């Protein structure tokens, strides 16, 4: 049975709808908000295991699993869905190393069920939330879409398997896709309406903000002996607002007849853990407690996007490409929340 939470009023700007799986989560909720603001008709599917119903600001929220093929077929048919945006997944790299079957079950097997439902319902477009983890540890520390995929953890492998299924289905049917390979997502809605509410989060900038506010004893720096300028890991941090905007660009591209694509989502430059820590200290105005720890399994020393292709193909222009801006919106979101809310 479909359980629909009370929707907010929204315009009906297009005759076809968008299904957003995992739309009550961190990234998905920002995409839902931007879709709603743009007037798209949409419905969110989320099992609420890590998502929050209050984060879904537009459209209907259906509580359910992406592995429930019958439920998804009903939604796709009843709501006249032409495009699916698939975010629902487990995303914690260290957990994927210790519990790989959990990741293959949810990220890969459930995606297979979702794709089967899409095929049966005649869905035309599919936007997939993938990850830079599919690249593993590229020798140069940078990855373009042509870089060989060689994931070093089950999280990346589970996403790569889903990519392959999607590409094969598109080749066999008329469905088109855009696969967006995210680099390190951070920040929050500058308007303060939504942000990352994940409990026991592991993403660096959120953890550093929580440590700055005394909600964690300290930030752990995992690995200080990497072959990087200051010995800590380097990542390409992208603001969640820019990432969400890329999904709307992908939707417009596919609906206008664009061909299937794989595109990196990053800014093309990186920051180390220590540089991020310094940015949080600037935003908060005081030192952030930290401790140094051993490297975590499955973490590459450096991973930065070659990100020219998404700008060329989708016309995507980032608006928040600044570490201090990313950190300040993340910190403002944390400051707006009750300590017990996370």
Positions annotated as catalytic residues are 155
Residue 140 dihedral angles phi and psi, to the nearest 5°: -85, -10
Q: Compute the distance between CA of residue 326 and CA of residue 314 in angstroms, rounded to an integer.
A: 23
What Å distances lie between residue 159 and 92, 163, 253, CA to CA? Answer: 12, 6, 23
Q: Tokens in use for 99?
A: 């519990």
Residue 195 dihedral angles phi and psi, to the nearest 5°: -165, -160
Q: Compute the distance between CA of residue 334 and CA of residue 327 in angstroms, rounded to an integer.
A: 11
Q: Which residue has the tokens 């030192």?
A: 287
Within its chain, how far is the Cα of 71 from the centroid? 24
Helices (H), the chain: 26-37, 69-78, 93-98, 100-103, 110-121, 154-172, 204-212, 240-255, 273-284, 308-314, 323-336
CA atoms within 13 A on the CB side of 111: 28
Q: Which residue has the tokens 């010995």?
A: 231
What secondary structure letter does DSSP report for 107?
I
> Which residues have a Cβ under 8 Å from the Cβ of 173 and sit 6 or more positions away?
119
Which H helix or E strand runs over 19? strand 17-21
What secondary structure letter does DSSP report for 7?
E
Q: Compute the distance between CA of residue 184 and CA of residue 307 in angstroms, rounded to an integer.
A: 13
């Amino acid at each position: 049975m479909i359980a629909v939470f009370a929707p907010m009023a929204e315009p009906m700007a297009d005759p076809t709808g968008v299904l957003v799986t995992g739309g009550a989560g961190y990234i998905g909720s920002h995409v839902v908000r931007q879709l709603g603001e743009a007037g798209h008709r949409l419905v969110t599917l989320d099992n609420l295991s890590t998502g929050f119903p209050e984060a879904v600001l537009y459209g209907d929220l259906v509580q359910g699993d992406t592995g429930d093929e019958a439920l998804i077929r009903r939604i796709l048919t009843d709501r006249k869905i032409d495009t699916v945006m698939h975010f629902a997944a487990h995303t914690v790299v260290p957990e994927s190393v210790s519990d790989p079957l959990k990741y293959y079950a949810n990220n890969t097997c459930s995606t297979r069920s979702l794709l089967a439902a899409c095929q049966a319902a005649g869905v035309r477009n599919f936007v997939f939330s993938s990850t830079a983890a599919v690249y593993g540890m590229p020798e140069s520390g940078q990855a373009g879409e042509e870089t060989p995929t060689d994931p070093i953890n089950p999280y990346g492998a589970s996403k790569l398997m889903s990519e392959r299924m999607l590409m094969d289905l598109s080749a066999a049917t008329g469905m088109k896709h855009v696969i967006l390979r995210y680099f390190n997502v951070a920040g929050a809605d500058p308007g303060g309406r939504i942000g990352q509410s994940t409990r026991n989060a592991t993403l660096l900038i959120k953890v550093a903000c929580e440590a700055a506010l005394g909600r964690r004893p300290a930030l752990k720096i995992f690995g200080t002996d990497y072959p990087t300028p200051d010995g800590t890991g380097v990542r390409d941090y992208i603001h969640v607002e820019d990432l969400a905007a890329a999904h709307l660009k992908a939707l417009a591209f596919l609906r206008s007849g664009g061909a299937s694509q794989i595109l990196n989502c990053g800014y093309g430059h990186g920051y180390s853990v220590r540089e991020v820590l310094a940015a949080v200290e600037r935003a908060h105005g005081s030192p952030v407690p930290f401790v140094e720890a051993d490297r975590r399994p499955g973490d590459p020393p450096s991973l930065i996007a070659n990100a020219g292709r998404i700008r060329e193909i989708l016309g995507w222009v980032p608006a928040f490409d600044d570490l201090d801006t990313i950190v300040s919106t993340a910190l403002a979101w944390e400051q707006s929340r009750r300590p017990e809310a996370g």
